[in-house]
Amino acid sequence: MHRNSSVGILGTGSYVPEKILTNKELETMVDTSDEWIVSRTGICERRISSEQEASSDLALYAAEKALEAAGIRADQLDLIIVATVTPDTSFPSTANIIQDRLGAKKAASFDLAAACSGFLYGIATASQFIENGLYRYALVIGVECLSKIVDWTDRNTCVLFGDGAGAAVLGPVEEGFGFLSFDLGSDGAGGDLLKLPAGGSRLPASEQTIADRLHYVYMSGGDVFKFAVRVMGSSAEAALEKAGMKKEEIDFLVPHQANLRIIDAAVKRLGLSIDKVVVNLDRYGNMSAASIPVALDEVVRQGRIKQGDRLVLVGFGGGLTWGACVLRWSMKEKEQLNHG
């Protein structure tokens, strides 16, 4: 095994379904208004997967784009991690489905559930495999089809969520670049604040659970909001401290896209100018594990992120979970003789 001291992102990709659901359309479905949704969340529209589309379909498109951007073939992948709370099935994992459809013949694969923090948990996990020399290339995907588990009669939750997928190929990068630090955390005591009550071994699917509408997302909005405002800033600061970096050195903040007021609170705490903050929540809503990688892919493809830029990725989610990472951007892979 050859240890790799620096691990980074070699390529990104994303995909969102074609169907757009606007706030105006939601006004015809539930008792809400465009003005109410925009003023409280910042969301104008979101993408909704078709009846035929599952999480693996969205993830496959994003994965193929990330591999192309990285210049890596699927059969070179050693590991695939899919972060999702809306897997195609409980098992096999969505990562197994992707592994087969990509033709990633030598890749180990598994799903990871940390809700909206999932992509951060995924890249933190994958980077360790590469850093310790066990693997060279890993594909991490954040994907959700939240429209399938949202109660379209609940005006408090249905306006918030959307579907999408974002992916990143990880590998060894030149010294001093790539991931500089991670900060991950959880508070299971707050698990009941944001959850999908039924469908697991606690409350298996039954006529009663369906009648009680327990197969839809439940969220205590006010409590989650307070938690998010607190933890987004503190986790970002913890990651910066571990990286030995000051707030003033941040070139880009890529936050989880849940609510504009939550993002604004984190931006204020970090003292950032708004041009350094990546926001696409107005177009996509909250895509849970897909939010951060989709936002990252968009700014990469816009050419806004340059070699050596310092990025902070930060998010929070059900569990309760949170996470942040600091990375110094490099699209250049560390060349080694055993490359191939």
pLDDT, residue 3, reads 74
pTM: 0.96
- Is the bond leading into 92 cis (omega within 30 degrees of zero)? yes
Phi and psi of 38, rounded to 5°?
-65, -45
Q: Is the predicted pLDDT of residue 19 greater than 70, yes or no?
A: yes
- Residue 275, classified by CB atoms within 10 Å of its CB into exposed (0-12), middle (13-18) or buried (19+), is exposed
- Cβ-based neighbours of 319, under 8 Å, separated by 6 or more: 114, 115, 117, 186, 187, 188, 190, 191, 194
Residue 1 pLDDT level (bands cut at 50, 70, 90):
low
Residue 340 has pLDDT above 90, yes or no: no
Q: Percent of the chain, pLDDT > 90?
A: 96
* pLDDT reading at 60 higher than 80: yes
How deeply is 116 buried, as exposed, middle or buried, from its count of CB atoms within 10 A (0-12, 13-18, 19+)?
A: buried
| CATH number, position 297 | 3.40.47.10
Distance CA 5, CA 336 (A): 13
How many Å separate Cα 61 from the centre of its chain?
Answer: 15
Q: For the segment 184-217, what is each residue's pLDDT rounded down to a tens digit?
A: 999 999 999 999 999 999 999 999 999 999 999 9
Crossing angle between the packed helical segments 55-70 and 291-301, to the nearest 10 degrees:
40
- Alpha carbon distance 61, 131 (integer Å): 27
pLDDT of residue 339: 46
List, for residues 137-173, the tens digit of each pLDDT value.
999 999 999 999 999 999 999 999 999 999 999 999 9
116 is catalytic: yes
Options 4, 23, 96, 116, the catalytic residue: 116
CA distance 301 to 198: 39
Nearest to 309 by CA among 234, 254, 242, 236: 254
Confidence bin at 337 (pLDDT 50/70/90)? very low
> How is residue 275 written in tokens?
């041009």
pLDDT in tens, 258-302: 999 999 999 999 999 999 999 999 999 999 999 999 999 999 999
Q: Which tokens belong to 13?
A: 């990709």
Least confident piece of the model among 37-41, 46-50, 128-132, 328-332 = 328-332
Determine the pLDDT at residue 230.
Answer: 95
Active-site residue, selected from the candidate residues 256, 259, 280, 325: 256
pLDDT at 338 over 80: no
Mean pLDDT rounded to a whole number for the chain: 96
Residue entry with tokens 């193929």: 64
From its phi and psi, is residue 42 left (phi > 0), alpha (psi between -120 and 50) or beta?
A: left
Q: Which residues form the domain of 88?
A: 1-340
pLDDT value of residue 336: 53
Question: Active-site residue 280, yes or no?
Answer: no
Number of domains observed in the structure of the chain: 1
What pLDDT shows up at residue 331?
Answer: 75
- Give the active site residue among 4, 23, 259, 286: 286
The answer to whether the beta carbons of residues 306 and 67 sit under 8 Å apart is: no
pLDDT of residue 233: 95
